[in-house]
Amino acid sequence: MDYAQADKGLPDISICPRCGARLVTRNLSHSCGTFTLEGLFPRSEPAVLDLARKYVAMLYGLGDVQVIPQKTRPTCVARVRFAGLQPRKDRFLASFALHRRLDSPRIIKTEDYGPRWRIHFVTVRDEADLDDELRAWLQESHDVVGMQSDLRSE
């Protein structure tokens, strides 16, 4: 799908001419630059970068998305940003937005962004943490928040 085109009543997506990032509004503030996933993990154990690569592959498997490395973290964008990760020395924090609050012992923190978005954080220490439950949460985040499905006019 060409995200620069209007999508069933949703506004056009702008594309940053410098970095190619999808932006929900023209001139949206973002870390416009050339960053790499590898560059975000200089103080992390090598296994953490390997896990991050697997997480990024999981994000790409959700649909047509961009994973954009920024200065301190990568973000994942469909129409809008919906997921990301925060590197740590021996793990990373996977983050994703939902319109509902999850009740799971795996959720280590939530942050409310207005009345509709809740950012959830999950610790990823090993490959077992990249399981079907996390993938289902990410898929919901992609489909509802990332694709703005609740804003579409039928």
SS3 annotation, 26-76: CCCCCCCCCCCCHHHCCCCCHHHHHHHHHHHHHHHCCCCCEEEECCCCEEE
Whether the pLDDT of residue 151 is over 60: the answer is yes
- Digit-coded pLDDT (tens) for 98-125: 999 999 999 999 999 888 889 999 999 9
Percent of the chain with pLDDT over 70: 74
- At residue 32, the pLDDT reads 65
Specify the DSSP class assigned to residue 138: H
Pair 81, 13: CB distance under 8 Å? no
- At residue 16, the pLDDT reads 64
CB atoms within 10 A of CB 123: 14
Positive or negative: CA dihedral 121, 126, 128, 131: positive
Residues 6+ apart with CB under 8 A from 42: none
Rounded to an integer, the average pLDDT of 30-40 is 69
Whether the pLDDT of residue 7 is over 60: the answer is no
For residue 137, the number of C-alpha atoms closer than 13 Å in the C-beta half-sphere is 25
- At residue 4, the pLDDT reads 36
- Digit-coded pLDDT (tens) for 53-80: 999 999 999 998 988 877 778 888 888 8
Mean pLDDT computed over every residue of the chain: 83
C-alpha to C-alpha distance for 145 and 1, rounded to whole angstroms: 17
pLDDT band at residue 2 using 50, 70 and 90 as cut-offs: very low
Percent of the chain with pLDDT over 90: 51
pTM, rounded to two decimals: 0.79
C-alpha to C-alpha distance for 90 and 153, rounded to whole angstroms: 44
